[in-house]
Amino acid sequence: MSSGPKLTEAKRDWKQLEDAIGYRFANPDFLIRALTHRSHIEESSRGAADTSNEQMEFLGDAILGYLASVALVNRFPEYREGTLSKMKAYLVSAAHLLPVAQRLGIGDFLLLGKGEEQSGGRKKRALLVDALEALVAAVYLDGGLRAAESFVHHCIFNGVDWNHVPVVDYKSELQEYLQERHSPPPKYVVVREAGPEHEKVFTVQLQIGPDRVAQAEGHTKKAAEQAAAQMGLNLLQENSLEREQ
Radius of gyration (Cα) for the chain, nearest Å?
Answer: 20
Provide long-range contacts, Cβ within 8 A and 24+ apart, for 147-152. 147/23, 148/63, 148/67, 149/67, 150/22, 150/23, 151/21, 151/22, 151/23, 152/63, 152/64, 152/67
Residue 77 belongs to what H/E stretch? Answer: none
Determine whether 61 is an active site residue: yes
8: which residues sit within 8 A by CB, 6+ positions away? 32
Contact 73, 66 (CB under 8 A): no
Spatial distance between the Cα atoms of 155 and 24, rounded to a whole number of angstroms: 14
Among candidate residues 29, 54, 57, 61, the one labeled active-site is 61
Spatial distance between the Cα atoms of 36 and 183, rounded to a whole number of angstroms: 27
Among candidate residues 133, 142, 149, 225, the one labeled active-site is 133
The strand pair at 201-208 and 186-194 is best described as: antiparallel
Catalytic residues: 61, 133
